Amino acid sequence: MFLNRLKTFLLLVGLTAIIFAIGGFLGGQTGLAIAFGFAILMNVVTYFFSDKIVLKMYKAQPITKAKAPDIHAMVERLAKKANIPKPKIYLVPTETPNAFATGRNPQNAVVAVTQGIVKLLNKKELEGVLAHELGHVKNRDILISTIAATLAAVIMYVSSMARFAAIFGGFRDDRGGGNIAELLVLAIVAPIAAMLIQFAISRSREFMADATSARLTNEPEHLASALQKLESYAKRMPLRLGNKATASLFIINPLTGKQMMNFFSTHPSTEQRVAKLMAMK
Protein backbone atom coordinates (compact mmCIF):
# COMPACT_ATOMS: atom_id res chain seq x y z
CA MET A 1 0.00 0.00 0.00
CA PHE A 2 2.94 2.33 0.70
CA LEU A 3 4.12 1.91 -2.91
CA ASN A 4 0.69 2.87 -4.24
CA ARG A 5 0.65 5.97 -2.02
CA LEU A 6 4.12 6.90 -3.23
CA LYS A 7 3.02 6.32 -6.82
CA THR A 8 -0.01 8.61 -6.35
CA PHE A 9 2.21 11.33 -4.87
CA LEU A 10 4.71 11.09 -7.73
CA LEU A 11 1.95 11.18 -10.32
CA LEU A 12 0.47 14.32 -8.74
CA VAL A 13 3.94 15.85 -8.80
CA GLY A 14 4.08 14.91 -12.48
CA LEU A 15 0.84 16.77 -13.19
CA THR A 16 2.18 19.81 -11.36
CA ALA A 17 5.44 19.64 -13.31
CA ILE A 18 3.54 19.68 -16.62
CA ILE A 19 1.75 22.84 -15.50
CA PHE A 20 5.01 24.58 -14.61
CA ALA A 21 6.55 23.43 -17.90
CA ILE A 22 3.71 24.99 -19.88
CA GLY A 23 3.89 28.16 -17.79
CA GLY A 24 7.63 28.41 -18.26
CA PHE A 25 7.34 27.92 -22.00
CA LEU A 26 4.61 30.52 -22.36
CA GLY A 27 6.64 32.94 -20.28
CA GLY A 28 3.58 34.40 -18.59
CA GLN A 29 1.64 33.49 -15.47
CA THR A 30 -1.66 35.29 -16.08
CA GLY A 31 -3.16 32.49 -18.16
CA LEU A 32 -2.07 29.90 -15.63
CA ALA A 33 -3.56 31.92 -12.77
CA ILE A 34 -6.89 32.20 -14.58
CA ALA A 35 -6.84 28.50 -15.41
CA PHE A 36 -6.06 27.58 -11.80
CA GLY A 37 -8.85 29.78 -10.49
CA PHE A 38 -11.40 28.39 -12.93
CA ALA A 39 -10.38 24.77 -12.34
CA ILE A 40 -10.37 25.13 -8.55
CA LEU A 41 -13.83 26.74 -8.58
CA MET A 42 -15.21 24.03 -10.86
CA ASN A 43 -13.76 21.19 -8.80
CA VAL A 44 -14.70 22.70 -5.42
CA VAL A 45 -18.32 22.58 -6.59
CA THR A 46 -17.80 18.99 -7.77
CA TYR A 47 -16.09 18.05 -4.50
CA PHE A 48 -18.91 19.32 -2.29
CA PHE A 49 -21.86 18.23 -4.44
CA SER A 50 -20.56 15.18 -6.34
CA ASP A 51 -22.38 12.73 -4.06
CA LYS A 52 -25.77 14.39 -4.66
CA ILE A 53 -25.12 14.68 -8.41
CA VAL A 54 -24.04 11.05 -8.83
CA LEU A 55 -26.81 9.60 -6.65
CA LYS A 56 -29.42 11.57 -8.60
CA MET A 57 -27.85 10.56 -11.91
CA TYR A 58 -28.18 6.88 -11.02
CA LYS A 59 -31.59 7.29 -9.35
CA ALA A 60 -30.19 5.85 -6.13
CA GLN A 61 -32.41 5.68 -3.05
CA PRO A 62 -31.43 5.16 0.59
CA ILE A 63 -31.73 1.63 1.97
CA THR A 64 -33.20 1.34 5.44
CA LYS A 65 -31.87 -1.11 8.00
CA ALA A 66 -35.28 -2.82 7.99
CA LYS A 67 -35.05 -3.54 4.26
CA ALA A 68 -31.40 -4.63 4.18
CA PRO A 69 -30.29 -5.66 7.67
CA ASP A 70 -27.41 -7.81 6.40
CA ILE A 71 -25.88 -5.02 4.32
CA HIS A 72 -26.20 -2.53 7.16
CA ALA A 73 -24.61 -5.01 9.57
CA MET A 74 -21.69 -5.60 7.18
CA VAL A 75 -21.06 -1.91 6.58
CA GLU A 76 -21.33 -1.10 10.29
CA ARG A 77 -18.86 -3.84 11.22
CA LEU A 78 -16.38 -2.94 8.47
CA ALA A 79 -16.60 0.80 9.17
CA LYS A 80 -15.86 0.16 12.84
CA LYS A 81 -12.87 -1.96 11.88
CA ALA A 82 -11.67 0.76 9.47
CA ASN A 83 -12.15 3.36 12.20
CA ILE A 84 -14.42 5.57 10.11
CA PRO A 85 -18.07 6.65 10.57
CA LYS A 86 -20.66 4.35 9.05
CA PRO A 87 -21.52 5.70 5.56
CA LYS A 88 -25.04 6.12 4.28
CA ILE A 89 -26.14 3.19 2.12
CA TYR A 90 -28.01 3.62 -1.16
CA LEU A 91 -29.53 1.23 -3.70
CA VAL A 92 -29.26 1.82 -7.47
CA PRO A 93 -32.31 0.41 -9.34
CA THR A 94 -30.55 -1.62 -12.03
CA GLU A 95 -29.89 -5.30 -12.57
CA THR A 96 -26.30 -4.58 -13.69
CA PRO A 97 -24.17 -5.70 -10.72
CA ASN A 98 -21.82 -3.00 -9.43
CA ALA A 99 -21.05 -0.67 -6.52
CA PHE A 100 -19.42 2.69 -5.83
CA ALA A 101 -18.54 5.09 -3.03
CA THR A 102 -18.82 8.86 -3.04
CA GLY A 103 -18.77 11.78 -0.61
CA ARG A 104 -16.17 14.42 0.14
CA ASN A 105 -14.89 12.85 3.39
CA PRO A 106 -15.59 9.93 5.77
CA GLN A 107 -18.14 12.04 7.66
CA ASN A 108 -20.20 12.58 4.48
CA ALA A 109 -19.63 9.28 2.70
CA VAL A 110 -22.10 7.19 0.74
CA VAL A 111 -21.79 3.58 -0.40
CA ALA A 112 -24.14 2.58 -3.20
CA VAL A 113 -24.89 -0.92 -4.44
CA THR A 114 -27.05 -2.00 -7.36
CA GLN A 115 -29.94 -4.43 -7.16
CA GLY A 116 -27.98 -6.73 -9.42
CA ILE A 117 -24.94 -7.02 -7.17
CA VAL A 118 -27.06 -7.90 -4.15
CA LYS A 119 -28.63 -10.76 -6.13
CA LEU A 120 -25.43 -11.97 -7.80
CA LEU A 121 -22.87 -12.16 -5.00
CA ASN A 122 -22.86 -14.35 -1.93
CA LYS A 123 -22.43 -12.71 1.48
CA LYS A 124 -18.66 -13.11 1.64
CA GLU A 125 -18.19 -11.65 -1.87
CA LEU A 126 -20.53 -8.75 -1.12
CA GLU A 127 -18.62 -8.08 2.10
CA GLY A 128 -15.39 -7.91 0.09
CA VAL A 129 -16.94 -5.38 -2.29
CA LEU A 130 -18.31 -3.25 0.55
CA ALA A 131 -14.89 -3.31 2.23
CA HIS A 132 -13.35 -2.13 -1.06
CA GLU A 133 -15.75 0.81 -1.18
CA LEU A 134 -15.03 1.65 2.46
CA GLY A 135 -11.36 1.55 1.45
CA HIS A 136 -12.03 4.41 -0.97
CA VAL A 137 -13.69 6.33 1.86
CA LYS A 138 -10.89 5.65 4.34
CA ASN A 139 -8.18 6.53 1.80
CA ARG A 140 -9.97 9.79 0.87
CA ASP A 141 -9.97 8.91 -2.81
CA ILE A 142 -12.63 11.48 -3.67
CA LEU A 143 -10.27 14.21 -2.44
CA ILE A 144 -7.30 12.72 -4.35
CA SER A 145 -9.39 12.41 -7.51
CA THR A 146 -10.57 16.01 -7.17
CA ILE A 147 -6.99 17.29 -6.85
CA ALA A 148 -5.94 15.27 -9.90
CA ALA A 149 -8.95 16.49 -11.86
CA THR A 150 -8.16 20.11 -10.92
CA LEU A 151 -4.56 19.85 -12.11
CA ALA A 152 -5.61 18.02 -15.28
CA ALA A 153 -8.27 20.65 -16.00
CA VAL A 154 -5.67 23.42 -15.74
CA ILE A 155 -3.46 21.58 -18.22
CA MET A 156 -6.36 21.04 -20.62
CA TYR A 157 -7.42 24.69 -20.40
CA VAL A 158 -3.95 26.17 -20.87
CA SER A 159 -3.11 23.68 -23.63
CA SER A 160 -6.26 24.71 -25.46
CA MET A 161 -5.21 28.36 -25.19
CA ALA A 162 -1.72 27.47 -26.43
CA ARG A 163 -3.10 25.62 -29.45
CA PHE A 164 -5.16 28.63 -30.49
CA ALA A 165 -2.16 30.90 -29.95
CA ALA A 166 0.07 28.68 -32.08
CA ILE A 167 -2.47 28.16 -34.87
CA PHE A 168 -3.61 31.78 -35.14
CA GLY A 169 -0.26 33.41 -34.45
CA GLY A 170 -1.11 34.81 -31.04
CA PHE A 171 2.17 33.59 -29.57
CA ARG A 172 5.15 35.84 -30.23
CA ASP A 173 8.55 36.15 -28.60
CA ASP A 174 12.17 36.78 -29.52
CA ARG A 175 13.30 33.17 -29.51
CA GLY A 176 12.54 32.48 -33.16
CA GLY A 177 9.72 31.16 -35.31
CA GLY A 178 10.47 27.56 -34.40
CA ASN A 179 8.81 28.14 -31.05
CA ILE A 180 5.40 28.13 -32.72
CA ALA A 181 5.88 24.49 -33.69
CA GLU A 182 7.29 23.66 -30.24
CA LEU A 183 4.30 25.30 -28.57
CA LEU A 184 1.86 23.39 -30.76
CA VAL A 185 3.56 20.07 -29.94
CA LEU A 186 3.49 20.92 -26.22
CA ALA A 187 -0.17 21.93 -26.44
CA ILE A 188 -1.04 18.55 -28.00
CA VAL A 189 1.21 16.30 -25.88
CA ALA A 190 0.53 17.92 -22.47
CA PRO A 191 -3.22 17.11 -22.23
CA ILE A 192 -2.59 13.52 -23.35
CA ALA A 193 0.10 13.17 -20.67
CA ALA A 194 -2.27 14.70 -18.10
CA MET A 195 -5.02 12.24 -19.03
CA LEU A 196 -2.65 9.26 -18.78
CA ILE A 197 -1.43 10.43 -15.36
CA GLN A 198 -4.99 10.95 -14.14
CA PHE A 199 -5.92 7.41 -15.25
CA ALA A 200 -2.78 6.03 -13.58
CA ILE A 201 -3.79 7.70 -10.30
CA SER A 202 -7.25 6.14 -10.57
CA ARG A 203 -5.76 2.67 -11.15
CA SER A 204 -3.41 3.12 -8.20
CA ARG A 205 -6.31 4.03 -5.91
CA GLU A 206 -8.21 0.90 -7.02
CA PHE A 207 -5.28 -1.27 -5.97
CA MET A 208 -5.20 0.55 -2.61
CA ALA A 209 -8.92 -0.02 -2.05
CA ASP A 210 -8.47 -3.72 -2.90
CA ALA A 211 -5.65 -3.94 -0.36
CA THR A 212 -7.79 -2.19 2.26
CA SER A 213 -10.59 -4.68 1.62
CA ALA A 214 -8.18 -7.58 2.07
CA ARG A 215 -7.00 -6.14 5.37
CA LEU A 216 -10.51 -5.48 6.68
CA THR A 217 -11.95 -8.88 5.79
CA ASN A 218 -8.80 -11.06 6.03
CA GLU A 219 -10.30 -12.98 3.09
CA PRO A 220 -9.08 -11.38 -0.17
CA GLU A 221 -10.13 -14.42 -2.20
CA HIS A 222 -13.80 -13.40 -1.85
CA LEU A 223 -13.20 -9.96 -3.38
CA ALA A 224 -11.20 -11.66 -6.15
CA SER A 225 -14.15 -13.95 -6.87
CA ALA A 226 -16.55 -10.97 -6.82
CA LEU A 227 -14.41 -9.00 -9.30
CA GLN A 228 -14.40 -11.90 -11.75
CA LYS A 229 -18.19 -12.23 -11.56
CA LEU A 230 -18.71 -8.46 -11.92
CA GLU A 231 -16.45 -8.19 -14.96
CA SER A 232 -18.25 -11.07 -16.64
CA TYR A 233 -21.63 -9.40 -16.14
CA ALA A 234 -20.34 -5.95 -17.18
CA LYS A 235 -19.44 -7.41 -20.58
CA ARG A 236 -22.89 -8.90 -21.04
CA MET A 237 -25.04 -6.14 -19.54
CA PRO A 238 -23.25 -2.78 -19.29
CA LEU A 239 -24.90 -0.10 -17.20
CA ARG A 240 -27.24 2.12 -19.22
CA LEU A 241 -27.62 4.86 -16.62
CA GLY A 242 -25.13 7.67 -16.02
CA ASN A 243 -22.22 8.58 -18.29
CA LYS A 244 -18.55 7.85 -18.94
CA ALA A 245 -17.38 10.64 -16.62
CA THR A 246 -18.54 8.63 -13.58
CA ALA A 247 -17.19 5.23 -14.68
CA SER A 248 -14.10 5.55 -12.47
CA LEU A 249 -16.30 5.61 -9.35
CA PHE A 250 -17.42 2.00 -9.76
CA ILE A 251 -15.55 -1.06 -8.57
CA ILE A 252 -15.64 -2.39 -12.18
CA ASN A 253 -16.02 -0.15 -15.23
CA PRO A 254 -19.79 -0.45 -15.75
CA LEU A 255 -20.33 1.17 -19.14
CA THR A 256 -18.46 -1.11 -21.51
CA GLY A 257 -17.62 -4.74 -21.85
CA LYS A 258 -14.45 -4.00 -23.79
CA GLN A 259 -11.06 -4.03 -22.08
CA MET A 260 -9.24 -0.85 -23.02
CA MET A 261 -5.46 -0.59 -23.25
CA ASN A 262 -4.18 -0.40 -19.68
CA PHE A 263 -2.69 3.09 -20.03
CA PHE A 264 -6.07 4.46 -21.16
CA SER A 265 -8.15 2.70 -18.50
CA THR A 266 -9.46 4.10 -15.21
CA HIS A 267 -9.30 0.60 -13.69
CA PRO A 268 -6.51 -1.98 -13.55
CA SER A 269 -7.26 -5.21 -15.39
CA THR A 270 -9.27 -7.68 -13.36
CA GLU A 271 -6.52 -10.24 -13.91
CA GLN A 272 -3.98 -7.94 -12.21
CA ARG A 273 -6.31 -7.21 -9.32
CA VAL A 274 -7.16 -10.88 -8.78
CA ALA A 275 -3.48 -11.84 -8.89
CA LYS A 276 -2.58 -9.23 -6.27
CA LEU A 277 -5.48 -10.26 -4.03
CA MET A 278 -4.62 -13.94 -4.22
CA ALA A 279 -1.00 -13.10 -3.39
CA MET A 280 -2.30 -11.40 -0.20
CA LYS A 281 -4.08 -14.62 0.78
Q: What is the residue-wise DSSP string for the chain?
A: -HHHHHHHHHHHHHHHHHHHHHHHHHT-SHHHHHHHHHHHHHHHHHHHHHHHHHHHHTT-EEPPTTT-HHHHHHHHHHHHHHTSPPPEEEEE--SS--EEEE-SSGGG-EEEEEHHHHHHS-HHHHHHHHHHHHHHHHTTHHHHHHHHHHHHHHHHHHHHHHHHHHHHT----TT-THHHHHHHHHHHHHHHHHHHHHHHHHHHHHHHHHHHHHHHHS-HHHHHHHHHHHHHHHHHS---SS-GGGGGGBSS--S-SS---GGG-SS--HHHHHHHHHHH-
Count the domains in the chain.
1
**pLDDT at position 23 over 70:** no
pLDDT band at 260 (very low <50, low <70, confident <90, very high): low
Higher pLDDT residue, 239 or 82? 82
Residue 25 pLDDT: 64
* 133: annotated active-site residue: yes
Higher pLDDT residue, 172 or 66? 66
* Most confident segment among 108-122, 163-177, 224-238, 264-278: 108-122
- Which of 76, 95, 125, 133 is flagged as catalytic? 133
Weakest-pLDDT range from 126-135, 162-171, 205-214: 162-171
**pLDDT at position 99 over 90:** yes
| The overall pTM is greater than 0.75 | yes
**pLDDT at position 35 over 70:** no
Residue 101 pLDDT: 92
pLDDT tens string 56-90: 888 999 999 999 999 999 999 999 999 999 999 99
**pLDDT at position 151 over 50:** yes
pLDDT tens string 185-238: 777 787 888 888 888 888 889 999 999 999 999 999 999 999 999 999 888 888
Mean pLDDT of 131-157: 82
Residue 24 pLDDT: 62
Question: Domain range spanning residue 249?
Answer: 2-280
Residue 28 pLDDT: 56
Higher pLDDT residue, 34 or 122? 122
